[in-house]
Every structure is written in C-alpha cells, then in structure tokens.
Amino acid sequence: MTELNQKDRLKIRRHEMPVQDAVIRRGNFDEVALGYPEDLARREAERCLQCKEPKCVEGCPVGVLIPQFIKALREGDIISSIQIMKVKNNLPAICGRVCPQERQCEGNCLLGKKGEPVAIGRLERFIGDYELAHRTCPIERAEKSGRRVAVVGSGPAGLTCAVDLARLGHSVTIFESLHSPGGVLTYGIPEFRLPKRVVQEEINYAIGCLGIEVFTDHIIGRTITLEDLLSGYDAVFLGTGAGLPQFMKIPGINLNGVMSANEFLTRVNLMKAYLFPEYDTPVRIGKKVAVIGAGNVAMDAARCSLRLQKIFGIEDGEVRIVYRRSKEEIPARREEVVHAEEEGIIFDFLTTPVEIIGDTSGSVTGMRCIRMMLGEPDSSGRRRPIPIEGSEFKMDLDTVIMALGTSPNPVVFFDAKGLERTRHGTVVADPETGRTRMSRVWAGGDIVTGAATVISAMGAGKKAASDIHKFLINNERWL
Amino acid sequence: MYRILKKEALSNLVKSMVIMAPHVARAARPGQFVIIRINDTGERIPLTIADSDRKEGTVTIVFQEVGKSTMHLGTLNEGDEIATFAGPLGHPSEIDKYGRVICIGGGVGIAPIYPIAKALKEMGNYVITILGARNRALLFWEDKMKDVSDDLIICTDDGSYGRKGVVTEPLKEILDRGNDISRIWAVGPAIMMKYVSLVTEPHHIPTIVSLNPIMIDGTGMCGGCRVLIGDESRFVCVDGPEFDAHIVDWDNLLSRLQYYKKEERLAIEHWHKCRLDL
C-alpha cells in the first residue's frame, strides 16, 4: 500500500465490525462481535494520524503504546505489533472485547472531535486474537530472583500482577477460591461477549510460559489466612475484587425468583446452566424479567435472560432494564447498550422499584415501582434521581435480577488485623503503589475501588507489581 | 483433583467418604462445611464436614443420596477423584463450657452434629444427644455418638428402633422437667429444625441451627443462600451456617428450598437416562 497523507486518512470512515445478526444471536450464547478480518483491521489502522503527543495513550489505564502498535499493524508487521502491545498489556484479546474504549483511548482520539475515533479497541482485539491463534510472542521471564509472592485472586488485577512479577523473575503463586481461574472474566462476563475459551487460553498460556503456580479451591481467610501467607511469602497482593452482591432494602427481596446478577451470571457463565441438564446446575428464567440497574453487569444479565428464554422455549418473553436515571447516565459500555437494544431489551428509564410482590407460595408476581425525575448533580457528578410523588405503578413479573453493584467479600479479611478498610468495606491502599496499611501487603482492583472495570483493575495490578518488584530487589524494609 | 480414600455405606441412603484434602483438613473446625463438585459438568454443592484429620490430611463427608449430585457421588469408589473440594467455609461452631447441652441430629444431620457434640464433650459439657431418623435403616453412627454423649436418645418415625416418634418429643420432655439446659444445637432437615426451634423458644434456651439453603459458589459471591434472620437478609455461606434458631424466618427458608425442585427431578431423570445409555 502506498503511504497515505493526513487528508487521505481523514477521508476513511470508521469500519464497522461484523456481528452476529440480532435475531439469530438472541437464541444462542455464541460471540456477538466477530472481530475484524485482517484486511479491515489494516484499513482501519490507516485512519490513525500518529499524533506526536497521543492523547489516546493517556486515556489507557495501562498505557498501551497505541500509535506504535497501530503503525506496525498497518505496515503489515503483525508480529511487531503484538510485541509492542505486550510491552504494556498481556491480555489484548480480553481488553479489546471488554474495555469501555469510548471513555478511554477512543474517547481521547483526536478524530473523535469531529467524526468517529479510530476503532482502537477493535484493533487491539485483532492483535490479541491473532496472537491467540498463532502464538508468535512467547512471554519471557527474567532470571530467578529467589523471592516469592502470593497473589490472591485470579481476576484481571491478580492475573496482571502475577504475570508482571513472574516476568521480572519472581516466583509467583496464585490462590483462587473458585474451581477455575479468571475471576469476573470467568464467572461474570457472558460467553457471547467474552468467550471462555479466550479467557482460559490467555490464562493457561501466561501461566505456562512463566511457571506460575495456581491453587484453586483456596479461600483466603478460611483455607489459609493472610497471616499464614505472610509467613511463607515475601509479599502478598490482594486482588479479590468486589464479589459481595448488594440487594435493595425493599420488601420482598427474599422471594423466589429474585436473585442477584452475580447468582444469575454465576449459574449461567461459570456453571453453564444454559446447557442444563448436560451440566448439573439449573437456572430459572421467567417470561417477564426485570433487571434492576444499567451497568455492564445489568446488560449482561438482561441479554443472558433473553437468550435463556429462547433456549428454554419461552414464547413472548419480555426482558426489561429498570433504571432510576435516564439514558444519558447509563454506566454500561456503549456497544453493550446498542447490542441490547438491537436484541429487543426494553428500557424503563427514570423508574425505581419500591416493593417486590409475591404470591402465597413465596414466588415473585410483580414489582411496585415509582417514576423518578432528575434533580441537581450529586457527588458522582450525575443528576440525582428524585421520586415523583403519586407516580407509583405495578409491573407484572416473574423474575427480578438485582444488578446494583457489589462490595468486597469480607471473607478475605478474617484474621487480617492491620488491614485498614473504608466504611464501604474497601481496602485502603495507595493509588500509585497499591501499598496497604499492613506490612508487605499490596491490594488493587475492585477490592480497593469498589466495582469498576477490568482494565482499571489491570492497571492497579500493574502498578502494584512494579512497586512490589522495587520493594523486593531493593530489599526494602516496610516502614 | 481430590482422591476418595475410603467409602462406607452408613445406611441404605447415607454414605461417608474420606477425601484427601490437606488444605481443608489443616483448617477445618466443627460446624464448617465444604463445597464439592464431582466433575467438569458438575454443580457445586455444600456438605458439612463430619470429621477431619490434620495429620493425615483427610476430611470426612457424609451425604444422603437425594439429588443427582449425591446419587452420582454415591457411585464413585475408593481411588476415584472429584474435581472440586473447597473450604473450610462458614464460621465454626462456638464451642465453650456451657454446662448441660443438647445436640440434636436428624437424618443425615447426624453426621455434622457429631463433631459439634465431640468438641462440646471435650470441653467438659454434659452432652445429651437426641438422634432421629425415619426408620432404623437410615440410622447411623450410634456408637460414635454414644462415645461423645452422656445421654443418648434415639427416635425413629416408624418405631423400628428406639422411641417411636420425632426428636421434638424427648426434647420437650427434657425441657419440661427443668430448665438446667444452657444451649441446644440442632442439625437436620429444615422442617425438623423449625419444630425444634418452636419447642425451645418458650423456654428461652439459646438454640443454634445449621442452615442448609441452596448454594452456588458458597464463598459469599452470589447471595443465593440468603435467609431472613430477624428482619435482615443474611448469607448462610459467609454469615453462617449457624444461626439463632429463634429469629430464623423458617417459612421463607422452606419455600426457597423448594424453588428448584422441578429441575432437581429433571436432573435425576437425565442422570438415570445417561447411565442406561452407557
């Protein structure tokens, strides 16, 4: 291809990514977004203006060398592109699929000021998938340091921290409470958005290349305490996330048919309930489903509900998102909202439940809701929803899924004296280094921030790994 | 993978297995439970720890074959392995010197009451044990329980062994005789624990029950096991499994236990069909 000038580049429109048709995909758990083929990826890469001071990189929590990887890609040097990517990000096939790019790299892209930003996320995914298929770039580890680090939790934060430390030559052991590593990537995000094959291959490859030891079925706080770990390891990183689901404090929350999004998604993703009875774990889905909340987890739960209705042969099913603010404030990734709308999810904005109603057998039959209006901005900067008096109405339902966020699981804190926590239950840690108030213990990801994104957890895992490394090689004393 | 070292039929429906799981054995205490999963397509089910041996690195589980997973588990043999054995989970029982205590085990609940009674006995309590089962064939561990009890009363619903009747009858008699009982534990079917609670409540004797709701991860992540304790929704896996019987919302627990009955039947049918196809 001849070298284009800036003007030519500006003329190229952003390339759509092929997706599975909305009508068909509602009935299966196969991946929705199919990824760019190589020619589309290279053409999209041509759009990048190679800014001298790239704003996109500033928007990336792990600082991926975006212009450089895109340049190598459009020159057809995919292997270099992968190497550049892996300097900062070991899991591009995952990040390309789940990052909220519109608020990070793509949100900062110069092209986005007047038109559409470069599809950085889709290019990242292309690079990640290419590497997954061809394995051109083995992960190398430095000479053994002789130092041992325990990483608790194998989600995005723990995994990133473990991989970075192992690359630097430290001996790393991961402790995971569930039977399969990956954390939210495994139990939370559905197959159709992030295939489990991608997650397991990425994890197994990194673990295999680096000789990381993984103990599943180990619940820190119960199987082993933090104190135990500190006596066997030079440093401990806590990346146990925010797994404890929150329920609304309204009547009827314990009725049959009301569940947390975590329960629903765990049944569906981790336990494969959509394949029941081939898989043992069942899941119930009703004809009329309401998901409360509008984050990524809510979108995932709603879209899983719709698929289960089709798979289980429930006709004329309805799935709605009930959200107390308006469309503008939706916290979910934009692509997920678009996909949910295409698939036929109903959105009830400015609506909040006040009571869940059940029958005499203890099962959900409906929900009393109230309409809201938006007032002045609150501490989050978003306009605060205020109930409209006298606007109550009843919604007929048989399934209610609560997707209202999560807080850190308290189990990890048993016998962890000295670990300071906030009143929200999160761990107090230095945002730049991940150091907690407990000697030789670092923390990062949702356990520190509360429920956030995969990539911000990875960013925290990276920062902590670099600080742990510094601590270990300098033989620092914890002050 | 976790190897089954020993398998024993305790009755025609109840089996015990000794599992090699040093990570659990090291920390296990009376009242705690494990989550097991048989294989890659299996579900995660909670089972109370019946015994453990730190030196040998083993944990004993006891289960009644009621659903697909327990039936499947019952077909495995010594030397076979299971995919998941996670724990110990939940808070251990609060063992202390209370004085005179009653330990009630119903059905398969006899297994988890054993380590509690044993620990209470070792602490110097006077332990009265009441065991109940539908019939003689379902009864087990009489000798083991005798060793850790000062008094042992056995009831069967059909009168085929011990007293004819349910555990609440001897319990009521003991409590009516006088109020020197300082604490009561009851482990068994939810309906039994509910009636034990109703009997002890007027006597204001602290009564501890070990609840057995449906669980998925068992680590505090899903809230599927939530129960109403007083007015509060609590997670049995992290806040329990033991609670004050007098403030448990029993009807809510009983109704939630029924929620997946249809699927449980389907799973059993599918399991039988698969076995016939082999």
Interstrand relation of B2-9 and B81-82 (parallel, antiparallel or unpaired): antiparallel
Contacts of A282 in chain B (CB under 8 A): 260, 263-264, 266-267
Residue A215 falls in which region: left (phi positive, over 0), alpha (psi -120 to 50) or beta:
beta
User: Between chains, do B219 and A277 touch, taking CB under 8 Å as contact?
Assistant: no
In a 10 Å sphere around its CB, with 0-12 CB exposed, 13-18 middle and 19+ buried, how is residue B3 labelled? middle
Note the pLDDT tens digit of each residue in B248-263: 999 999 999 999 999 9
pLDDT average, residue stretch B97-119: 95
User: Between chains, do A263 and B37 touch, taking CB under 8 Å as contact?
Assistant: no
User: Between chains, do B41 and A279 touch, taking CB under 8 Å as contact?
Assistant: yes
pLDDT at A7: 87
Q: What is the mean pLDDT of chain B?
A: 94
What number of helices (H) and strands (E) belong to chain B?
Answer: 9, 16
User: Between chains, do B260 and A361 touch, taking CB under 8 Å as contact?
Assistant: no
User: Between chains, do B44 and A263 touch, taking CB under 8 Å as contact?
Assistant: no
Compare CB distances from A244 to B216, B220, B255 and report the shortest one's residue. B220
pLDDT at A288: 97
Distance from CA of B29 to the nearest CA of A (A): 10
pLDDT at B24: 97
* Contacting A residues, span 380-419, partner chain B, CB-CB under 8 Å: 409-411
Interface predicted TM-score of the whole assembly (ipTM), two decimals = 0.94
Q: A196 in contact with B at a CB cutoff of 8 Å?
A: no
User: Between chains, do B260 and A282 touch, taking CB under 8 Å as contact?
Assistant: yes
CA distance B18 to B47: 13
Contacts of A247 in chain B (CB under 8 A): 223, 226, 233
Contacts of B42 in chain A (CB under 8 A): 280
Three-state DSSP at A384 gives strand
- Of A443, A179, A213, give the one whose Cα is nearest residue B219: A179
Query: Are A265 and A305 spatial neighbours (Cβ–Cβ below 8 Å)?
Result: no
| Three-state secondary structure string covering B157-221 | CCCCCCEECCCHHHHHHHHHHCCCEEEEEEECCHHHHHHHHHHHHHHCCCEEEECCCCCCCCCCC
Sequential pLDDT tens for chain A (479 residues)? 567 888 888 889 999 999 999 999 999 999 999 999 999 999 999 999 999 999 999 999 889 999 999 999 999 999 999 999 998 898 899 999 988 898 899 999 999 988 999 999 999 999 999 999 998 877 888 899 999 999 999 999 999 999 999 999 999 999 999 999 999 999 999 999 999 999 999 899 888 889 999 999 999 999 999 999 999 999 999 999 998 899 999 999 999 999 999 999 999 999 999 999 999 999 999 999 999 999 999 999 999 999 999 999 999 999 999 999 999 999 998 889 999 999 999 999 999 999 999 999 899 999 999 999 999 888 878 889 999 999 999 999 999 999 998 888 888 888 788 889 998 889 999 999 999 999 999 999 999 998 888 989 999 999 999 999 999 998 877 76
Q: Which of B214, B222, B262 to mutate to test the interface with A (most CBs of A within 10 A)?
A: B222
Compare CB distances from B263 to A177, A282, A409 and report the shortest one's residue. A282
Compare CB distances from A411 to B216, B219, B233 and report the shortest one's residue. B219
Return the ∠ at Cα A387 (arms to A381 and A390), rounded to 5°: 165
- Of A272, A139, A149, A146, give the one whose Cα is nearest residue A203: A139
Q: A267 in contact with B at a CB cutoff of 8 Å?
A: yes
Contacts of B67 in chain A (CB under 8 A): none
pLDDT at B278: 67
Element (H or E) spanning B41, and its range? none
Q: Which two tokens stand for residue A443?
A: 């923390």
pLDDT at B99: 94
Nearest chain B residue (CA) to A219:
B87
Q: Residue A460 contacts by C-beta under 8 Å, 6 or more apart in sequence?
A: A157, A239, A434, A444, A445, A448, A449
Query: Are A346 and A320 spatial neighbours (Cβ–Cβ below 8 Å)?
Result: yes
Interstrand relation of B14-20 and B2-9 (parallel, antiparallel or unpaired): antiparallel
Distance from CA of B74 to the nearest CA of A (A): 16
Note the pLDDT tens digit of each residue in B154-191: 999 999 999 999 999 999 999 998 869 999 999 999 99
CA distance A73 to A78: 5
Compare CB distances from B222 to A263, A280, A410 and report the shortest one's residue. A263
Instruction: For residue A277, give the amino acid letter.
Output: P
DSSP A334-349: HHHHHHHHHHT-EEE-
User: Between chains, do A223 and B24 touch, taking CB under 8 Å as contact?
Assistant: yes
Between helix A296-311 and helix A334-343 the angle, nearest 10°, is: 30
Contacts of B88 in chain A (CB under 8 A): 222-223
Note the pLDDT tens digit of each residue in B129-139: 999 999 998 99
User: Between chains, do B86 and A215 touch, taking CB under 8 Å as contact?
Assistant: no
